Structure 1
Amino acid sequence: MTHDQPARLPVTSISDLLAAVPYLLGFHPADSLVTIGLTGHRITVAARADLPAPATIPDWVPQAVRQHLALLRNVDATTAILIGYGPATAVTPVVDAITPHLHAAGITIFDTLRVTAGRYHSYQCQDPRCCPPDGVPFDPHYSPTTVHAIVAGQTALPDRAALVASLAHTASTGMTEASRRAQERALAAQISGGRAALIRAGRQAVGEAFARYAADAALTDDEVAWLAVLLADIAVRDHAGQATGQATGTEPWLLALWTDITRRADPAYAAAPATLLALTAWRHGQGALAAVALDRALAADPHYRLAHLVDHALRHGIPPTALDHGPTSGNPAR
């Protein structure tokens, strides 16, 4: 499940809402259950989960209900819209299974929808004048909401696979050699000055990286490799995390910085920058990107503790304001 605190988009109809969903998530969903939470008349959370196989729905429901309720309650949302993307055989049993539990928990269900082959169907509207049996056609690519999102600089990739591909490792011989040199350099620094020398070097490397990307430039292979190796020390990683938050946490170049380091760093050192990317994306309200970044982090190190903590927060709808208390500060574990 991915969690976002969406940017404001004008939504005055179901078609507008469906046009907004890809921009709230960062990609066009498929075979998904999307939950939209409203606080008053404002969308305050958008979450996506894969549709479960029909045979697994009874086992899926309890955990799904807990996650949905946590997502909604953490943003004080009392109203929800459920949207299933896929064929009726996959969507209808899921909507039928989860809706009564949300009702019982005091959540008002504004609507439950199914999107199939460019048409939407409302499970709650039986009036054929506005909800014909064969569905209402809509085009998410041509809508005032879409135009507003694009003008605001928001993007929606074709699908989740494209989002995953955007963070894929960019292997190069130059980076392999740069990583080897960085490891040798770190070893020499530790021998001569101990861990304190590495931490000092890490703080300097973080500052230089911030200055470079704030100026719309990028690090060289040697600089990326050096920073990635230094981030393996949790004190350096925590300093980078705190510096990211202090830089307002929502500067566009921060996402560019940690995305670039995550893609280019040796996979053996990807856990720290990928987790920092997840934290940054979380602050930006890009829960889908945060989730994909966490997948990268845990692929590099399945036991990386901070990645697991952030993953838990995303799955349970904890808002990024929790970062104001410094989630990496003083964390003795990875």
Structure 2
Amino acid sequence: MAQQITLRARSVVDVLAYIPYRIGYAPTESLVIVARRSSTGTVGLVARVDLSDVKPETADMLAVHIANDRAASAVVALYTEDRQEADRALASMTEALHGQAVDVHDAVHVSTAGYVDMHAALAVVRPLSDVTTSVLAAEMVALGVAPASDRAGLLPAEASPEAQATARRAAEKHAAKNVDEQTTHALATWRLALTGLVDGPGIYGELAQMLTHTKVRDAALLSMVPGIDPDTVTQTAAGNAPDDATGGAIAAIFNPKVGQRPGETSDTARDLLTQIVAHVPTSAPAWTLWGLVAWWHGNAPAAADALARALEADETYRLALLLNSAVQFGMPPGWVVRERDTK
């Protein structure tokens, strides 16, 4: 189940300890900006961008997102070995934030040598152990949250070449059937795989092929959303669903007015999709659904990378293009906005 952790930034150490857990991995060569709301210091939006991409237009876009998050101030962390590059990026980000009437509460340069308060007259390098052994870091460990060591670790590892070959042969064999045969038992196979009653490279290959059919993909999507009638899922797979069925499921994920947290079914689906993309790394539909679930759980970096994989496989894949626009724009899942706005 997704957790929306409310953090009060008691110190800059708290913020630095929180960043890897919030974005999912330990950043490098990055600018990370953390919104702080009002005098309470409650952390809101957290956004990361490659340091090389910090141009005035990028900084302006980030500043608008931070302001829209009702931030009174922000913390800017620069992860790089190059202090001059950190100074350059901070100057650009500070100007953009001030243009949105958002103060830079703290600015920190983080390198392998330690972390430095960039606002201090005297640059004192403090050890990273302050961050890694902080109370907040211990609390995150206690919650069972563990960031990846780097961004590459956010995505599923590929299966062995032999397993991928088996999956590919199964997909090709399934694709050779007529369309009706390909889709007739697709939802049943998906449901059996979710329960663990069927598995293995052949099943993952067949499912990758089944998901190439829009109605099967949409049925798989609907099956992840809490409150969706199973009969609606069945009708969707058969191509007979009500016109608003998929729209209702999308609203439950995106719309702040009705947005729902992902449930156990989405966790199970994520595990199954992990196996599908591991065995069929060229499956645009599976990567798209995996990215959607990652984003729904609040892991935008993993979602962005998964959608990039989907678009590498098929640059015209419409659902991936739509989701990628939302992720790149910094749109949070509906449940995050709804719960944030009720606090």
Question: Could you tell me the TM-score, scaled by structure 1's length?
Answer: 0.79
Does residue 97 (structure 1) correspond to residue 87 (structure 2)? The answer is no
> Which of these residues, 288, 296, 305, is aligned with residue 275 of structure 1?
288
What is the CA-CA distance between 1:74 and the residue it aligns to? 5.2
Q: Which amino acid aligns with 2:71?
A: A
Aligned ranges for residues 45-84 of structure 1 at < 5 Å?
Answer: 45-52=45-52, 60-66=55-61, 68-73=62-67, 75-84=69-78
Distance 1:14 1:178, change over 3 A: closer
Looking at structure 2, the residues matched to 146 and 323 of structure 1 have their Cα atoms a distance apart, in angstroms, of 22
Q: Which amino acid aligns with 1:145?
A: L
> Which of these residues, 135, 147, 153, is aligned with residue 162 of structure 1?
153
Number of corresponding residues = 297
Q: Deviations over 1:25-68 (max 9, x none)?
A: 11111110001123343222211111117xxx6xx2213321x1
Looking at structure 1, the residues matched to 83 and 212 of structure 2 have their Cα atoms a distance apart, in angstroms, of 47
CA contact (8 A) 2:67 2:102 kept: no
Aligned ranges for residues 162-201 of structure 1 at < 5 Å?
Answer: 162-163=153-154, 166-190=155-179, 194=180, 197-201=181-185
Q: Which amino acid aligns with 2:92?
A: A
What is the CA-CA distance between 1:154 and the residue it aligns to? 0.8
Moved more, 248-257 or 104-113: 248-257
Looking at structure 1, the residues matched to 76 and 198 of structure 2 have their Cα atoms a distance apart, in angstroms, of 41
Looking at structure 2, the residues matched to 285 and 28 of structure 1 have their Cα atoms a distance apart, in angstroms, of 16
Looking at structure 2, the residues matched to 245 and 283 of structure 1 have their Cα atoms a distance apart, in angstroms, of 11
| Structure 2 residue matching 1:136: 3-state secondary structure | coil
Moved more, 219-228 or 37-46: 37-46
Looking at structure 1, the residues matched to 46 and 133 of structure 2 have their Cα atoms a distance apart, in angstroms, of 21
Query: Equivalent residue for 1:14?
Result: 12
Looking at structure 2, the residues matched to 31 and 260 of structure 1 have their Cα atoms a distance apart, in angstroms, of 31
What is the CA-CA distance between 1:141 and the residue it aligns to? 2.4
Q: Deviations over 1:74-112 (max 9, x none)?
A: 544343211111121111101101211211112232222
Does residue 134 (structure 1) correspond to residue 132 (structure 2)? The answer is no
Query: Equivalent residue for 1:238?
Result: 218
Note the aligned Cα RMSD (angstroms): 2.7
Distance 1:200 1:42, change over 3 A: farther
> Which of these residues, 271, 289, 294, is aligned with residue 256 of structure 1?
271
Distance 1:253 1:150, change over 3 A: farther
Q: What percent identity do the matched residue pairs reach?
A: 27
Question: Could you tell me the TM-score, scaled by structure 2's length?
Answer: 0.77
Higher relative contact order (CA 8 A, sep 6+): 1
Query: Equivalent residue for 2:201?
Result: 221
Distance 1:162 1:258, change over 3 A: same
Looking at structure 2, the residues matched to 45 and 286 of structure 1 have their Cα atoms a distance apart, in angstroms, of 12
Distance 1:39 1:175, change over 3 A: same
CA contact (8 A) 2:18 2:137 kept: yes
Q: Which ranges in structure 1 are unaligned for 5 or more consecutive residues?
A: 127-131, 325-334
Distance 1:156 1:134, change over 3 A: same
Distance 1:11 1:286, change over 3 A: same
Looking at structure 1, the residues matched to 124 and 336 of structure 2 have their Cα atoms a distance apart, in angstroms, of 46
Distance 1:106 1:221, change over 3 A: same
Aligned ranges for residues 249-328 of structure 1 at < 5 Å?
Answer: 249-251=262-264, 252-265=267-280, 267-268=281-282, 270-321=283-334
Distance 1:307 1:119, change over 3 A: same
CA contact (8 A) 1:250 1:284 kept: no
